[in-house]
Amino acid sequence: MKSFIFAGLRRRRLSMLVAASALACSLLVSGVPAQAAVPSAAVPTRYVYVSTAPRLVGDPTVGGLLKVDIKATFAYVSPAGGTPAISYFWTRDGVVIPGANGITYRATAADLGRVVAANLTVTYDAESSLTVQASHPLRVAAAPRARGFNGDGTLDIFARDSFGRLLLYPTDGHGNWQAPQVIGWGWNSFNLLVSPGDFDGDGTVDVLARDGQGRLFLYQGNGSGGWKKALQVGQGWQGFKEISAAGDFNGDGSNDILAVDSAGSLFLYPGNGHGGWLPPRWIGQGWQDMDSVGAGHFFDYSSVVTLSRTFWGDLQARTSNRNGYFEEYGLPGSYAGTIGRGWDSVVRFGMAGDFNGDGDSDIYGIDRSGRLTMYFGDTSDFSHWGIAGFRWKGSAVVGWGWGGFTAVF
């Protein structure tokens, strides 16, 4: 349903906006021939309105790119005449962000936990303008796993070998591996490893590790491929068969964890943004026959995604609009859609970011022969068609010998 927003009769001045750019390819205007003369003191202000408000979309995490979606927004003026100029400004908790005046905005550390909004101003002449806020302002969450471990913002993969060494496999952001690095020893005492992204709120990516006694430890990353210190952040976790990095699942700006117990019950463990927890709660059941990994903002949208592989090999996507629940209620028979088949051929799979630098997140899979294959995501049609519009750009074998690792994440 289209809504119409009318400009007031008073003259509006927006001193914070930069020079407006033409809207020829972005917003369409009425085709009625120009009729109105240049406004003067004797001519009333014309009405300016839009068909529907633009939308705020993109990745609402520190370092993520936010965008104003104007594909469904059309501007009009009455009486008709002229071509509008368009300008943008962004706000953080209602305060204008200096220098943020484009159609996109990359969230910074200053935005963590704050609500970021985008605003669009349509101007036909000095007396005829309208400012509209894009729908769905977004609270910016802590840096996700996809930001990488060594501070360069590119995909990294952690791997543990049979000697208990933890290795980091970094990339250059353009589909090439850099030299692997040993970043830890003695990690064979852990039976479950996951990276939740920035869990303690210091801006760097961290790792959670569970030992044989069910104790959970936080290994704080230092932002340059090493560690600050390790802290015990839980006990009694031996009852979980799987934990995954959900991203900011409840929308409070902190990264969270999903955990599945041996009975298949799914629990949300919300992070408090400082390396600890808020009260956990049950959010689903029937997950005992699925392997799941957190995929963050995999669809380049504000919703967070969990990818689950069924025992028959389908790769299913489950989404949450960051309200603490799955949009499909967390039931195994309900999901956003199937984005792949034949995934029973891989022993391990996961999402660690954008491998080839095209702006879309990619999925890696390791088969029984130890080949590492990267599957390249394509979200170009997602905004139009939802999950049905998701495609793969293709795949490529990018590594061999990965079958010898006892953990990859």
Averaged over 322-335, what is the pLDDT? 77
Averaged over 51-76, what is the pLDDT? 96
SS3 44: coil
Among residues 102, 139, 143, the alpha carbon closest in space to that of 117 is found at: 139
Tokens of 119: 């605003």
Alpha-carbon span 148 to 154, nearest angstrom? 5
Among residues 364, 333, 330, 156, the alpha carbon closest in space to that of 259 is found at: 330
Alpha-carbon span 144 to 63, nearest angstrom? 9
Cα dihedral 194, 200, 205, 209 in deg (nearest 10): -20
**pLDDT of the residue at 263:** 96
**Phi, psi of 8, deg, nearest 5:** -75, 170
> For the ranges 42-46, 251-255, 362-366, which has the lowest average pLDDT?
42-46
Give the angle subtended at the CA of 237 by the CAs of 233 and 239, to the nearest 5°: 175
**pTM for this one?**
0.85
Alpha-carbon span 18 to 101, nearest angstrom? 7
pLDDT at 35 over 80: no
Identity of the residue numbered 177: W
Q: Which residues pair with 309 in a beta bridge?
A: 291, 315
pLDDT at 8 over 60: no
Tokens of 157: 């993969």
Residue 137 per-residue DSSP state: -
pLDDT at 90 over 90: yes
Laid out side by side, the sheet with 190-197 consists of: 190-197, 206-211, 216-221, 227-234
pLDDT in tens, 271-327: 999 999 999 999 999 999 999 999 999 999 999 999 999 999 999 999 999 999 998
**pLDDT of the residue at 403:** 97
SS3 205: coil
Alpha-carbon span 349 to 274, nearest angstrom? 29
pLDDT at 31 over 60: no
pLDDT in tens, 338-354: 999 999 999 999 999 99
**pLDDT of the residue at 287:** 93
**pLDDT of the residue at 44:** 56
**pLDDT of the residue at 1:** 33
If you average pLDDT over every residue of the chain, what do you get?
89
SS3 89: strand
Percent of the chain whose predicted confidence (pLDDT) is above 70: 88
